[in-house]
Amino acid sequence: MKLLKIFFSIFIFSNLSFGQTKSPFLINNELFELPGKWEHLGKIENSGQYSFSNKKLKLGLLISVRKTEIFDFYNKELTEFEFLNKFYIWETEFWGKDDGNVEIEKIEVNETEKYIIWRLKIIDKNIESFILSGVRNSKLIGISLSDNNKKEPKSRTEKIEFIMKIYFKK
């Protein structure tokens, strides 16, 4: 009984001291722990993206985990970072075809950790997403965050830190 009380105390203390729960999701054998309570909405088949929503924070999240070999521009001679750059160019060219209705901003590139953070804004729909594209475990991982809180949106820095925490499992 004493052991049970100690375990219970540690459990309560750890939840209070870290401030929030995490929602774990396994996507193509990659674990993602989303801070807070998230609802899995479904999968977008053509992009392999899993859609999530946090109603309390008014955030939308898309996570995709795909093998690098499935892309037309894949070449086994490329380093993972070279592949990632080709993916970024391919993805931004796709979005950039929208005749000036899209803003794309490259925010951060990290060759050592193999990720690129960028921002996509669809102007006429007033949709802005902060995206982390990275290569981990020979898989292309994409995390896209949309903040739908019009009254108290997260700052740019908070959005970037949020997707980085998810990617790096902090």
Per-residue model confidence as pLDDT tens digits over 2-48:
433 333 333 333 333 334 688 999 999 999 999 999 999 999 887 88
**Residue (of 124, 128, 136) closest to 160 by Cα position:** 128
Residue 15 lies in a domain: no
Residue 142 lies in a domain: yes
Residue 147 lies in a domain: yes
Residue 13 lies in a domain: no
Our count of domains for the chain comes to 1
CATH of the domain at 44: 3.40.1000
Which residue range forms the structural domain that includes residue 89? 22-168
Average pLDDT for 51-64:
96
pTM (two decimals): 0.85
* Residue ranges with strand state E in the chain: 22-27, 30-35, 39-44, 49-54, 59-67, 102-110, 115-122, 127-136, 139-147
Per-residue model confidence as pLDDT tens digits over 135-152:
999 999 999 999 999 899
Where does the chain have alpha helices with state H? 2-18, 80-96, 156-168
